[in-house]
Structure 1
């Protein structure tokens, strides 16, 4: 296995710190302190931080400043309403427009995957990658240009990964089964059932996400967290989580490190 770069280590550790609540919504990450802790130049830190902004974990509240993104309940509900509608439509269209080979390949990938053990951090990562894979594949199969263009904005990486982190093992089993239900409806070429199964999947992720964000309401914390290297392993609600890897967005693309600043 190749050794991770400083940029990748920073990306994964800061992402883990945001997901686990070490760095909290609204807190500012001091770039100079990050550079000191990771022993790197400012350009290296920018590569990781800009990627985290692009995936929805961080925001740029003012020029040159990076903070943990603070999602509001209104934003979440608006995004998930749009996502449920568009992804439901995509699932229905995919059953009608996907080629036999595309459907067979998607079904094979889903049916071959045994239910993960969520007490192992590789199990939760499998669920994340499987959920992204089936959604991105369905968007491609649907062949609806508007949905393809909007895919990244309606489903930021951060929101799906955070929703998985917010669930307990029983909820994750339901989420896993809902992915299987989407695949089964595609196999039957049943548009209404595919649309319904996709809607259930989206609602499972929405509910868990809103509940987790509500836990932090009306809690005050310091503006600046203590920046440190992160031991990326945690057990939450009976499920294990680790550093994981980088998953594509719903448009099927992983934004490479080294992208320019995304917001002024």
Structure 2
């Protein structure tokens, strides 16, 4: 249920602002309302949905200014993380980062598993740099400015050239950290963050112009989905930029 609803949001089957009815979800998936609430709360925590009132949910609407602000904040704090990583990382950590950068592969348009590798490899690289910075507040900051929904939107919005540029940039960042060139590491990290901003803004603005019913029609999804000539898969639940996976069953009040 979680993966399919997330898939529906990312593939624009469920559009920004549309209400996701708990009763409709429960009927389609033949499960108890409490199980639906747990899944929708987790999707809300990861940035795919928003709460409406005490019990309703809707697909999250991202505004241009909000996206621009998030990218600016992320560039600032991940740039600092790269700077500190160049100063503080151990030789073993630098070796791991080099390996992560070299493992990155361009996804094949018809291979949904390749896209999932890009999602996970990209996130792992950025999480590792933040961990190497040894800034104690970094996980909390990452959770606020890089929700899972935004990270997946970034990867899904990339063209082949964008992805290749990102892979090369990660290798340059890893090299700068390995050379203890803190200023260069920060500059490259900021450039890497900004490189995906326009493609994400374009994807968000395209969705804003699509007419939609007030309430989404809940459907079941096949394991893969073709969109604009590319094949996407549902993937798995992965840890967010703060390194945590929020389990189902956590009270809604603890997900804020």
Cα distance in 2, alignment partners of residues 217 and 105 from structure 1: 41
Moved more, 151-160 or 136-145: 136-145
Residue by residue over 1:219-261, the C-alpha shift from the partner in whole angstroms, topping out at 9 and shown as x without a partner, is: 4311011111012423344433110112211111111122211
Cα distance in 1, alignment partners of residues 159 and 229 from structure 2: 6
Structure 1 residues 64 and 77 mapped into 2: Cα distance closer, same or farther (>3 Å)?
A: same
Structure 1 residues 168 and 109 mapped into 2: Cα distance closer, same or farther (>3 Å)?
A: closer
Structure 1 regions of 5+ residues with no counterpart? 1-9
Q: CA deviation at 1:77?
A: 0.9
Alignment of 1:1-264 (within 5 A): 10-262=1-253
State the TM-score, normalized to the length of structure 1: 0.90
Moved more, 85-94 or 235-244: 235-244
**Runs of 4+ residues deviating >3 angstroms:** 112-116, 235-239
Moved more, 168-177 or 108-117: 108-117
Structure 1 residues 247 and 201 mapped into 2: Cα distance closer, same or farther (>3 Å)?
A: farther
Structure 1 residues 238 and 177 mapped into 2: Cα distance closer, same or farther (>3 Å)?
A: farther
State the TM-score, normalized to the length of structure 2: 0.93
Q: Secondary structure at the match of 2:13?
A: coil
Cα distance in 2, alignment partners of residues 19 and 108 from structure 1: 30
Q: Secondary structure at the match of 1:140?
A: helix
User: How many residue pairs get matched?
Assistant: 255
The answer on whether the counterparts of 1:53 and 1:59 sit within 8 Å (CA) in structure 2 is yes
The answer on whether the counterparts of 2:162 and 2:196 sit within 8 Å (CA) in structure 1 is no
Q: CA deviation at 1:202?
A: 0.9
Cα distance in 1, alignment partners of residues 43 and 66 from structure 2: 19
The answer on whether the counterparts of 1:155 and 1:250 sit within 8 Å (CA) in structure 2 is yes
Q: Secondary structure at the match of 1:216?
A: helix
Q: Secondary structure at the match of 1:215?
A: helix
Structure 2 regions of 5+ residues with no counterpart? none
The answer on whether the counterparts of 1:17 and 1:23 sit within 8 Å (CA) in structure 2 is yes
